[in-house]
Structure 1
């Protein structure tokens, strides 16, 4: 794993020599806390790069990468240190007209599923109205991120084809995942979206070819006019579990939820925010929601949830304020009472708070310091310190 990390930097240095231009974002974080009388000091190092290797007219070749290295200085274990590579691909733009081709490790997305793969990706505009996104390769096992899996036995393929009509957009989605030479996920679906000045509508349906049943139905809408904003969502979804996974033998219930959001602007500064939601199950539903006041700098809410043998309610708030052109402060507070079983009469209390200070140093360095506090039925008093530095480079 260390060898992979070293090789990455060698590649980055090598390609930068031949690059026209590029940029990099180097992040360093230190997270210090204590759990069960054991102190931890976790160190994180991340590097994100984008390098132009070749450019001629509309044609361009670029290299992109994103990786993270982690180590626990005070509590070493077998998996320490860890290195994860999330992006490492070369992109060819417009060598095929109106098309971008990515080769390497990349994150692929469709509305019905996502995947991190080692393979090839394609983004192509057939016209101003028709777009195709396609990717295929071997999935990346999160437990072995430094290993490239066998392509034929672990093939993952995603496709999305969209068409923009004059007043709405529709899409066709496809997802196939193979694991250990067996089909694990096989789904397809369609979606429709309408966006207007005062309202929007989005709906999606998905079919599971492995289980031969409808997997998901979603409809979401919103309306906004003057001081009022309203949105609603209805979701009915089957459990999404690979058929060759051990969890496939568990008889999980369908997930059904309805949600309503309402906001009202009191004036140019304050607005009332609220939500009510209900999740439906065979034995008992879960009802939850919140109501509060919000501005551009802070939010204060009362939250509640009740059902499935649990009950909690409390107050939460957050603030983000720029003191001047340099310093910014932020914070959050959560004060809750909760009960995890109906048979227990007593309620437990939970307190959580976080306060931080952030500032840029020059035009390329950003520093953040954060203090966190947690107290509940398990942790009598848990204090944590989080430090983060970000440095941007251009060359």
Structure 2
């Protein structure tokens, strides 16, 4: 066992002990700890900003894009907003202890299924240091210990942020070891976390497709896949074209760097001649590069030829793949072949078409006459989220606090024997 492996297992062991102490704490104690953490972030904001400046300087030296540097950068104003987000988590209902179902059995035994914390949650994530706070807050609220493994690009920021959070917890009943930074900034520390089966209950990767697939393929710890989104919008023959135009533009351009942005637009051949010219003009005016098939390119000289790779690409940029299809079934077939099962949308005034699309598309979220951008814990009314699960086991879609719990059965008898 290497030194890094030993260090990672050490923090995991402490997290497991902390999780056992954290699980039975009531909401008032957990909320008090979250409010103390929020206050500490504001009080020590200048210290965090100073550490963050080191990360930003390194990023510039390494030629990091300005967009990524913006995601990395913290200011006192941004830290205040992060602290406010922690306070909002404190206001959310506590899922722990909620009775999912219960009944009295014919033999008189009382059976209840209740929500309990998952235990130790490892978060492996890229870039943004605000995720360090968000993940810690959501884990604490749901009674879980958090092992935080951010990217090396934000290591200085994350180190100070975790120190601030742990310092705040030391004045509460929540054990400080409920929030820990995984030691090391290299690949070896991430691998050690992925192999800490028995100490870590679940891993949640947050980032690009490469990160997610690496964790899924290399981890011996159970993984909840989140985030990767090759999302589709299908404009049906029976669509209201004004609504379709607004939805398609919003789904692509409202914020193109996130997982619920649309990456492919499928247009029914029956309305292509009426819909594509104004759509392509609107997209071009907004700086979107359209990658179109042979039936799309004749409508606009600015359209570049689509390749097979375009149908599989999560651009996260102002690029959009566009294809003309002959039927709803052809659209569904395309989605089945290329989707990452995140979010798909249909625009149609036909109830039968909407029902057919919803029943045949197998993704975490399916929108009818609405933008893909609504797949979000906040937009769904869940409050904060740890990520959007694109798999089927345990949780699917936006993962709020209830999705960060498991369940156990409590059986109460009166001397019952079998």
Q: TM-score, normalised by structure 1?
A: 0.24
Q: TM-score, normalised by structure 2?
A: 0.23
Q: Which of the two has greater helix per residue?
A: 2
